[in-house]
Structure 1
Amino acid sequence: MTVGARDKNWRYRLAAERGALAAAVIFTIMFTVYGAAQPTGLSSDVVNTAANKGALLALVAMAQTVPVLTGGLDLSVGMIFMLTNCLASVIVTGSPAMTILGIAGVLAAGLACGLANGLIVVYGRLQPLIATLATSAIYFGIALALRPQPGGDVNGDFADLMTRSTYGVPSSVVLIVGAVVLIWMPYRNSTLGRAAYAVGSSEQAAYMSGVPIARAKLCAYTLAGLFAAVGGLLLTCLTYSGEARAALGGDYTLNSIAALVIGGTSLFGGSGGVVGSVFGAFVMRTVGDLLVVFNINPVLQPLFVGVVLLFAVSLGSLRLLRVRNKLDLYR
């Protein structure tokens, strides 16, 4: 590869990740201000607490991002997150062997929920918005059957492993990095991952090019269920219980959409990625932390989140207004 070709490749990559880089810069500034306002500074406990709170939304935002890349939307990710939380509070207990089986069961449940969404969207030919709105009600019913009242338990050693810091590095951050490296990156570079971007950019062009549209969408929704299930596991480890609460699932679903927009993923599909969504989620969580340290009424948090979200959407819209072809976004 020539030097010019390498430079062009790097320019393309930087352009493709522009939204993620912007979200990372915003988060860094906000978190630095938050740390400076803390009486104890950015101590290990402060960082760990912030990381644990942000990781929950980050995982749900990652779940939302994959279907959005195909031009869809998954309104059930919050309910899958809540369902797996309730399921984990039932089966991730007991001996180490039983705990491992329980973890596998929770992840399998998330995959099954995502697969069901994908089958309905692809072969049922329903709009993703309608299909996932219906399945979210089903998943909430199952969660409520598992946990009519908040309660349950989780293996203490596993919970400690998932929520502590080691040498100042929160386990939740390691979990996010692991999900990106072990799940997202192989998927992003696979045939189905590239197909998801192609479908989101132009489904008609993708079809004419022989892109496996059905498999790409099916894989995207299934992967969304897996990410949401990992988040449900983490929530169980943080709370040592499960709770079927409609408001909880709804809040995480809506906030996941906001996080991916802040992270630079287009709601029209075809551009973006989970890395930006992770930083977008941490931006949203840091807004709430800043309100606390500056003694601002937490009731005003939606106002500040809305301002940040509107700013992020406006920046993206200004660029889209000048684009006739989505490929221009990467020139």
Structure 2
Amino acid sequence: MPIWVTLLGVFAVGWLVVGVNGGSFGTVTNLQNIAQRCVALGLVTVGQALVVLAGSLDLSVAYIVSVSAMVASVTMAGDPGRVPLGIAAALGAGALAGLANGLVITRLRVNAFIATLGIGMILRGGLNATFDNFAGKIPDEFQTLGYDAVAGVPVSLFLLAAVVAAAWYLMHRTRFGYHVYAVGGDAEAARLSGVRPWQVLLTVHVLSGLCAAASGLFLASRLGSAAPWVGPDGGYDLESIAAVVLGGTALAGGKGRLLGPLAAVAILAVVDAVFNFFQADPFLRTLVRGVIIVGAVALYTFRADRDRT
């Protein structure tokens, strides 16, 4: 509940600040823009939350976003008939990257931080060696995902809602979800109870890759093409972790919910909307985001210390 109260407070402050300066913060257009800003990071955050709940971490998500966007754009090549193939190829690329993360962590027993950072660097190297600018083209028919609205609600928000609903059901209504919490809480105790931690970790990393790929598809639909830097420039790796922590999920795993991190994503989107109104310097935006990330980690440390006492 506190994170949702914080969201309302941040929105109220944004409304007040913009209003005092002669702007209108609560317009339909602005609310639609805020909703659109939630989608890309929100999709990545859902996957990151699953990984963190299992006691792992994924620092490769930004590059999975880029790879998936590039694969979709190049595969579709402006041809509406190739849209299904482009979607399948992008999701497949994301799943494979997630599988690679999971295998390195579970089979090679490499720390998740190092493993996903390394996979991310491999993906980055492949992108930079293959592309140096925008490539491919997204057909107009697929760009409806990024721009169209139904009854005033952006189409992309329905995508995010569907992914969130599926993840929520998986975590709270299936045996697998209970296994995720068990492994995140105590992997050894879970193993002694008959759970296979390596299978859980492998699965959540594949799911994280799929969520990042969905984000890449959305960004490609917005851009009409794709470039190698769309993921890293969005800062989806650190910002998704910050959103997960701000949303009340323990970095150590085993404790937290899916909806809290989404409220944190909305907070970041509202802050972005305020910056856009004032046409703030990009450096200032980066500075504030850095403060939010540091604050999120500090908040996690405070919670962890409080729980131990």
* TM-score normalised to structure 1 length: 0.83
Query: Equivalent of 1:84, from 58, 68, 81?
Result: 68
2:138 aligned partner, one-letter code: V
Instruction: Evaluate the alpha carbon distance shift between residue 94 and residue 313 of structure 1 in structure 2; reply closer, same or farther with a 3 A threshold.
Output: closer
* Equivalent residue, structure 2, for 1:50: 34
Query: Equivalent of 1:248, from 232, 238, 242?
Result: 232
Moved more, 287-296 or 277-286: 287-296
Distance 2:164 2:60 in 1: 21
Shift of 1:99: 0.6
Distance 1:134 1:322 in 2: 33
* Equivalent residue, structure 1, for 2:255: 271
Identity %: 33
Shift of 1:112: 1.1
Q: Map residues 208-287 of structure 1 onto 2, 5 A cutoff.
A: 208-245=192-229, 248=232, 251-287=235-271
Over the aligned positions, Cα root-mean-square deviation in angstroms equals 2.5
Shift of 1:80: 0.3
The answer to whether the 8 A contact 1:69-1:266 is kept is yes
Moved more, 283-292 or 305-314: 305-314
Distance 1:142 1:245 in 2: 12
* Equivalent residue, structure 1, for 2:289: 305
* Equivalent residue, structure 1, for 2:10: 30
Distance 2:203 2:80 in 1: 31
Aligned length: 305
* TM-score normalised to structure 2 length: 0.88
1:140 matches 2:124: yes
* Equivalent residue, structure 1, for 2:135: 151
Shift of 1:155: 1.6
1:320 matches 2:304: yes
Instruction: Evaluate the alpha carbon distance shift between residue 158 and residue 35 of structure 1 in structure 2; reply closer, same or farther with a 3 A threshold.
Output: farther
Q: Map residues 90-129 of structure 1 onto 2, 5 A cutoff.
A: 90-129=74-113
1:77 aligned partner, one-letter code: V
1:190 aligned partner, one-letter code: T
The answer to whether the 8 A contact 2:190-2:197 is kept is yes
The answer to whether the 8 A contact 1:70-1:217 is kept is yes
Shift of 1:215: 0.9
Shift of 1:62: 1.8
Distance 2:65 2:231 in 1: 12
What are the ranges of 5 or more consecutive residues in structure 2 without an aligned counterpart?
none
